[in-house]
Amino acid sequence: MRGRGELPKARSILIMDNLHAQTTDEFKEYLAKHCNSLAWYGPSECTDEMDIWLEQSHNLERWETASLTASDRRVLITQWMGAAMARLNRQQTYRYRIFEKCGMAMTVDGSGDDRITLEGLDKPYTFANDEDSSSDDEQGRWRM
């Protein structure tokens, strides 16, 4: 058990919206140094959806006074995740596009490769085919 004023041994994640003051390097460094926490920002334009729970009953008061027990938080997060999964499951086209976009819906014949749109690469990504296979390709390594 840690004493008052001691940093937790395990690093925690602080989930928040994209308010400018919370996105500055100074704020993130403070969280890391003084709170042993990593800042994680929810998607832009989602604050209203996140506020729905806070606007119900006495939830805002419970949140601000830190009166949510660990058990309450676990149940709440489980409910939020369940609601998010239910919403995602209703969007079949979107779900398929996620798999398609990152290449997880690749076909053996290469049809649909034009729909793969990998992000964050320095140069275009090429896929191996029967005509240009090499020893690296045979070992299961993809080429860039």
Coil, strand or helix at 101? helix
What per-residue confidence (pLDDT) applies to 12?
A: 87
Domain ranges in the chain? 12-90, 94-138
Integer-rounded Cα Rg, in Å, for the chain is 22
Tell me the CA distances in angstroms from 41 to 16, 77, 86, 143, one per residue in order.
Answer: 5, 16, 22, 33
What per-residue confidence (pLDDT) applies to 3?
A: 64
**Ordered DSSP codes for 27-96:** HHHHHHHHH-EEEEEPPTT-HHHHHHHHTSTTHHHHHHTT---HHHHHHHHHHHHHHHHHHHHT-HHHHH
What is the residue-level pLDDT of the chain in tens, covering all 144 positions?
556 667 667 888 888 888 889 999 999 999 999 988 999 888 777 777 778 888 888 888 888 888 888 899 899 889 989 988 998 889 999 888 888 888 888 888 888 888 887 777 777 777 666 455 555 444 455 554
**DSSP type of residue 122:** S
